[in-house]
Amino acid sequence: MQLRTALIQTDICWGDRQANLAAAERRLRTLEETDLALLPEMFATGFMTGDVSAAEPMTGETVGWMRRMACETGMAVAGSVIVRDGERVCNRFVLAEADGSLAWYDKRHLFSFGGEDRLYAPGRERRVIGCRGVRLLPQICYDLRFPIWSRNRNDYDAILYVASWPAGRMAAWDILLPARAVENQAYVLGVNRVGTDPTARYDGHTAAFDFLGRPLGRVPDGREGVVRVTIDTEALAAFRDRFRAWADADDFELLR
């Protein structure tokens, strides 16, 4: 099984949902032979931690736009959105399929250094999402620093990280993405933004790695662009069968 992905590194206009969705739509409509298009964290608004006025229900404009784009282009569309779910506001990874179906994951590790934990509710469960026969573990930005949460139990093929990771801490991003690929024997796709917002500058470093930690592609730093990567589950399964490090991993239980 192969999943053809497009990792979209883009600038984001602060708080301007219409401008951001229009720019993303223009980019999506240029893609061909793509199964999954991946957008950055809070791609419709920018990374808003001190204000949740942009929060939308799952029936709101951004998720509706994702479903429409998936339906019209035939590809799955994913990224994170500020979602109001009852009394909770979540930083939610949403994947919209061409048939209108949705799957999602709420960010577990909220960025307390930037105040995200004050207004957002943390996710309660780790989720694996199926997309066209490939098992995907969605993660959001700060989750990258917490390896137990992404530990592979032989239950996924690739980790997807969508991020607003600032330029001042890019060294950690560049180290941890391939580390997660090696330790989990899985593909790793990391999508970051470029540009600026009121608190940070972003330099991109959108990149993908195979199950050996080898680079598969990268968008040039500091510029908008797309990198195309194919996830090959047959190659992955053959490697895992030959080198069964995953079977020797320590058992553990998450207490909260």
pLDDT band for position 152 (50/70/90)? very high
91: helix, coil or strand?
A: strand
E-strand stretches of 87-186: 88-96, 102-106, 129-131, 134-140, 158-162
Q: Is the pLDDT of residue 255 over 70?
A: no
Per-residue pLDDT of 100-129, as tens digits, reads 999 999 999 999 999 999 999 999 999 999
Question: What are the strands of the beta sheet with 88-96, ordered from one edge?
Answer: 102-106, 88-96, 76-85, 36-38, 2-9, 225-232
Residues that are catalytic: 41, 107, 141
201-224: b (≥16 Cβ within 10 Å) or e: ebbbbbbbbbbeeeebbbbeeeeb
pLDDT of residue 253: 78
102: helix, coil or strand?
A: strand
Per-residue pLDDT of 5-27, as tens digits, reads 999 999 999 999 999 999 999 99
Per-residue pLDDT of 165-216, as tens digits, reads 999 999 999 999 999 999 999 999 999 999 999 999 999 999 999 999 999 9
pTM of this structure: 0.97
Token couple for 123: 């996710």
Per-residue pLDDT of 203-241, as tens digits, reads 999 999 999 999 999 999 999 999 999 999 999 999 999
Question: Which residue, among 134, 101, 188, 100, has the nearest Cα to 3 in the 3D structure?
Answer: 134
What percent of the chain lies above the pLDDT cut of 70? 99
Token couple for 135: 């098992």
128-136: average pLDDT: 97
